[in-house]
């Protein structure tokens, strides 16, 4: 900021405590971060462009939040976890007691405390999940990366794999956290699965927290369907496998992920529809639910620590699907990154020719000979053979051979000129 320039952030009271306010906009830092994160950067700029918000000011606001400069200014935003911590509220009981009254949009329930503030929430269940506040500084850091670097993708815009054909349905039974559903969607998108079904999601559906956690896999979130019963979620499927880490006393095929995916591919090719069942985060599938599956999928794991979290389990099965499909790339492909093939990267320099390699050997051996390296002389043939074997094994590129010859030349020149290394 130039000397004498007005500060972008000032302080004003919000909800009974000092909060950081964006001067030009008249709103809290939290509000700007929320809009930019939950919608888009362009949405935030459009919303406040008439009062002076541009990319430069937006970045200044985001940096303020991301670096938690509010702590030095002794201010906090409403709804921020830092404010809850500063107020010493460690439980929902503490939070309720700090208010005069908290009312709810979905019910006539009222919570009365000993404080002076009035509070509102969607429901008691929602309050129980959100009372501690959000980590807005973490949101700000994510938006800063997008603001500075953009979403650097080429032909990858958060869409299904083109021409992927039919894929198995991922069925989450009673998932407990919306964030976990979002991470499942991200894992599915990574490896080419796109059909998501939910049985009795605890946090409701659709859910914005799942969208945030999906990190761009919105096409899966948007297409995700919630069902009130396990039976309804299986509708239209011909063959289903159930994932579990616990052995069940059921007479069913037990398949590895590789075997299960192979079986699904065979059936899909015949026109059948297939699905993979994943249980709740806490206890996994009930045995009666596994009994309704055609097979059980169990991954090779450490027998003393066999439980996977929900997104990990989906990722493992999704990876096996993409591996057998053969349609993925090694890592991402962006504006600056082309598809990779297995093997050593040459970084644009082709492998050295044998002529270039032989010329390097002769250069190196000539200079070593001049320095008396081959001593005793009768050992020279074996020493040369060992050196050539060593350098040949490295599979050098043309640029690397030029670099090695430059190193030899520089060392010899320094020796002859009498210079010493520091």
pLDDT tens across 70-81, in order? Answer: 999 999 999 899
DSSP string, 178-231: HHHHHHHHHHHHHTT--EEEEES-TT-SS-HHHHHHTTT-HHHHHH-EEESSHH
Q: Which two tokens stand for residue 6?
A: 């007005």
CA distance readout (Å), 174 to 100, 165, 202, 232, 280? 36, 28, 6, 13, 5
Predicted confidence (pLDDT) per residue in 331-378, tens digit = 555 544 555 555 555 556 788 899 999 999 999 999 999 888 998 889
Distance CA 147, CA 138 (A): 15
Predicted confidence (pLDDT) per residue in 377-395, tens digit = 898 999 999 999 999 988 8
In DSSP terms, 397 is beta-bridged to: 351
Higher pLDDT, 104 or 413: 104
- Which band of pLDDT confidence, cut at 50, 70 and 90, is reported for residue 163? low
Please compute the mean of the pLDDT values over residues 47-61 and round it to a whole number.
93
What pLDDT was estimated at residue 345?
Answer: 58
What pLDDT was estimated at residue 422?
Answer: 45
What pLDDT was estimated at residue 210?
Answer: 92
Is residue 217 within 8 Å of residue 195, measured between CB atoms?
no
Distance CA 184, CA 172 (A): 9
Residue 154 confidence (pLDDT) above 70 = no
Backbone angles phi, psi at 297, to 5 degrees: -105, 125
What pLDDT was estimated at residue 416?
Answer: 66
Radius of gyration of the chain (CA): 31
What pLDDT was estimated at residue 367?
Answer: 92
Is residue 182 within 8 Å of residue 209, measured between CB atoms?
yes
Query: Which of 151-160, 283-292, 340-349 comes out lowest in average pLDDT?
Result: 151-160
Q: Residue 45: which H helix or E strand, with range?
A: helix 41-48
User: What 3-state class would DSSP assign to 29?
Assistant: helix
What pLDDT was estimated at residue 346?
Answer: 56
Distance CA 110, CA 71 (A): 33
Mean of all residue pLDDT scores within the chain = 86
């Amino acid at each position: 900021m130039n000397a004498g320039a007005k500060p972008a952030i000032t302080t004003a009271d919000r909800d009974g405590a000092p909060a950081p306010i964006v001067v030009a906009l008249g709103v809290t830092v939290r509000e700007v971060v929320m809009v930019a994160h939950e919608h888009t950067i362009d949405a935030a700029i459009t919303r406040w462009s008439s009062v002076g918000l541009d990319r430069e000011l937006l970045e200044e606001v985001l940096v303020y939040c991301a670096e938690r400069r509010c702590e030095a200014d002794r201010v906090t935003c409403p709804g921020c976890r830092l404010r809850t911590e500063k107020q010493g509220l460690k439980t929902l009981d503490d939070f309720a007691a700090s208010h005069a009254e908290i009312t709810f949009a979905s019910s006539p329930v009222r919570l009365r405390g000993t404080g002076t503030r009035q509070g509102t929430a969607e429901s008691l269940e929602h309050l129980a999940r959100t009372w501690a506040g959000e980590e807005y500084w973490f949101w700000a850091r994510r938006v800063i990366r997008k603001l500075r670097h953009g979403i650097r993708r080429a032909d990858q815009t958060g869409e299904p794999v083109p021409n992927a054909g039919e894929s198995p349905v991922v069925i989450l039974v009673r998932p407990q956290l919306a964030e976990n559903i979002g991470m499942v969607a991200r894992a599915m998108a990574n490896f080419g699965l796109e059909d998501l079904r939910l049985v009795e999601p605890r946090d409701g559906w659709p859910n914005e927290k799942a969208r945030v956690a999906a990190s761009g896999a919105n096409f899966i979130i948007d297409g995700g369907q919630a069902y009130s019963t396990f039976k309804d979620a299986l509708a239209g499927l011909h063959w289903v496998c159930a994932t579990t880490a616990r052995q069940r006393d059921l007479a069913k095929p037990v398949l590895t992920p590789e075997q299960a995916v192979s079986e699904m591919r065979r059936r899909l090719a015949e026109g059948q529809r297939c699905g993979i069942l994943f249980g709740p985060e806490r206890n996994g599938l009930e045995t009666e639910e596994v009994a309704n599956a055609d097979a059980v999928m169990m991954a090779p794991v450490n027998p003393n620590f066999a439980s996977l979290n929900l997104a990990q389990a989906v990722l493992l099965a999704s990876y096996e699907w993409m591996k057998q499909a053969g349609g993925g790339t090694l890592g991402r492909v962006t504006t600056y990154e082309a598809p990779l093939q297995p093997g050593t990267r040459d970084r644009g320099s082709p492998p050295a020719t044998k002529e270039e390699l032989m010329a390097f050997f002769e250069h190196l051996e000539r200079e070593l000979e001049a320095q008396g390296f081959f001593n005793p002389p009768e050992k020279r043939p074996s020493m040369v053979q060992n050196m050539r074997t060593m350098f040949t094994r490295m599979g050098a590129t043309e640029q690397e051979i030029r670099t090695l010859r430059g190193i030899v030349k520089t060392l010899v020149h320094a020796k002859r000129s009498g210079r010493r290394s520091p």
